[in-house]
Structure 1
Amino acid sequence: MKHTQQSGAKVYNPFTLSLYDWWVLNISNKYAWKCPTDTRLLPFFLHHMGETHLDIGVGTGYYLKHAPATHAISLMDLNPDSLKIAASRVGNTKIRATLQHDVFDTFPADWHGRFDSVSMYYLLHCLPGEMTTKAKAIKNAGMALKPGGTLFGATILGKEVPHNAFGKKLMAVYNKKGIFSNTNDSADTLRSVLNEHFAKVTLEQHGAVALFSATMPRSL
């Protein structure tokens, strides 16, 4: 599968996105992944978000709508429907730019060194390949940071995590359909990739979800 033909991105259309908040952010996060949106994921997002922010893999824009009005937000996604819906939800007063782009491809030059923070929420587990392959996306995201900026995100792990019956079922279905590609993703492999590209890394695990932050990109 080519990176530009990711099933994980193609699954999102206006209909599936209309169900996203209910199914993913409410039902799945609470009952399958055991990492509630309101008490874990949203506070982590807002804590690490800077005044100039790039969100990669935008979903419906749920987290971004909670950003302070003074923040300047840019959006990047492979899926045009996600970009449109997220931009509409967040509003023109906060949105500075949108870019339909494959995270595996080098970012445009004027997006390098541009942001105080970059988020990758529920993106990595949708990207094809092993974590070592996904490292390219992490490297590219790091190049978008200003000096002192922070890359942060959340991803569902497939290995060495306590999946319940609901989570195991979703994992099997999503990986079979190509929506997820995270069977071998573990906290250790994620930490290793982050440490390869950043000098300072934090990682915490809640249920089946890893929440991470990284600063001080190494020479890229």
Structure 2
Amino acid sequence: MTPSAGEVVRMARDEVIAGQAVYNRTVLAGYDLYVLGFSCRLIWRCPKRLMLANYDRNVGERHLELGAGTAYFPDRCRFPGPAPTLTLADMNPTVLRVSAARIARYRPTTIRADVLQPLPFDDDRLRAGGYDSVGANFLLHCLPGTWAEKGAVLDNAKTALRPGGRFFGSTILSSGVPTTAPARRLMRIYNARGIFHNHGDDLAGLRAQLDARFQDVRVTVRGCVALFEAAAPDDPAR
């Protein structure tokens, strides 16, 4: 029997909860070394310096990070000024605590939220149109659903940005990009465990989602990673 719309939403949320639960303090302690070091360079074939360069090109004074991770890149990137305003949004409270502690010098605001759902822009801490940049690094391949469903993340980013603000990040793709045998094997393992949900993620689909919402879209492929950057439309109604 075909599930109802409500059941589909609940199933997707359950997958999000299960996927993010793996990021406990032990996993986060080794994330920079294993994922951003070993896996990025040798498996996904996209060294972290390219992701850092993406931040340096696009990050603004008022920045929203969707999927906070360990805050490795907000910690190391070059902000336009010495006192940026940072907001971290993630469903996992452990991730928020760890990432906020790492960049405590910036006194970031934390928002616990499912990025596949509309963000709580009625919250005084999160203002629609209030950000110069929104980052979504290594986030999309962890989220369940088709590109159309993952597009909710891009909707949130577009709503958060001022006209001309920058949306950027990276994601691991399973098709439309060169993949090695080790990369395909690790993706199969991660998808089976619910850590990744990228078995249907292709380059053309990512580009279509970005083009539908943003302007000046640029997508660069390194290995099986797509690094993207784009601008919010000058006309918010676009």
What TM-score bracket applies, with the shorter chain setting the length?
over 0.9
Specify the alignment match of 1:52 in structure 2.
Answer: 62
Cα pair distance change 1:4/1:77, threshold 3 Å: farther
- Contact 1:116/1:146, CA 8 A, preserved across alignment: yes
Q: Deviation of residue 169 (structure 1)?
A: 1.5
Specify the alignment match of 2:38 in structure 1.
Answer: 27
Cα pair distance change 1:4/1:83, threshold 3 Å: farther
* DSSP-derived class of the 1:132 partner: helix
Specify the alignment match of 1:200 in structure 2.
Answer: 216
- Which consecutive unaligned segments of at least 5 residues does structure 1 have? none
Q: Deviation of residue 202 (structure 1)?
A: 1.1
For 1:167, the aligned partner's letter is A
Distance 2:192 2:127 in 1: 34
1:79 counterpart = 2:89: no
1:130 counterpart = 2:146: yes
- Contact 1:31/1:166, CA 8 A, preserved across alignment: no
Residues 148-157 or 100-109, more deviating: 100-109
* DSSP-derived class of the 1:190 partner: helix
Specify the alignment match of 2:5 in structure 1.
Answer: none
TM-score, reference length from structure 2:
0.87
- Contact 1:53/1:116, CA 8 A, preserved across alignment: yes
* DSSP-derived class of the 2:37 partner: helix
- Contact 1:202/1:213, CA 8 A, preserved across alignment: yes
Distance 1:101 1:20 in 2: 21
Which of residues 9, 12, 21 in structure 2 aligns to 1:10? Answer: 21
Specify the alignment match of 2:101 in structure 1.
Answer: 88
Distance 1:214 1:47 in 2: 11
Specify the alignment match of 2:237 in structure 1.
Answer: 219
Q: Deviation of residue 4 (structure 1)?
A: 5.4
- Contact 1:74/1:95, CA 8 A, preserved across alignment: no
Which of residues 186, 190, 194 in structure 1 aligns to 2:202? Answer: 186
- Mapping of 1:131-210 within 5 angstroms? 131-210=147-226
Q: Deviation of residue 175 (structure 1)?
A: 0.6
* DSSP-derived class of the 2:188 partner: helix
- Contact 1:72/1:96, CA 8 A, preserved across alignment: yes
- Contact 2:65/2:136, CA 8 A, preserved across alignment: yes
* DSSP-derived class of the 1:99 partner: strand
CA offset digits 1:125-174 (Å, max 9, x no partner): 01101111101111111100012201111000011222112211210100
Specify the alignment match of 1:98 in structure 2.
Answer: 110
Distance 2:36 2:205 in 1: 25
Give the number of the structure whose alpha-carbon radius of gyration is greater: 2
Q: Deviation of residue 177 (structure 1)?
A: 0.9
For 1:60, the aligned partner's letter is T
- Which consecutive unaligned segments of at least 5 residues does structure 2 have? 1-10
Q: Deviation of residue 5 (structure 1)?
A: 4.5
TM-score, reference length from structure 1:
0.94
CA offset digits 1:5-30 (Å, max 9, x no partner): 41331110001111101110001000
Residues 159-168 or 188-197, more deviating: 159-168
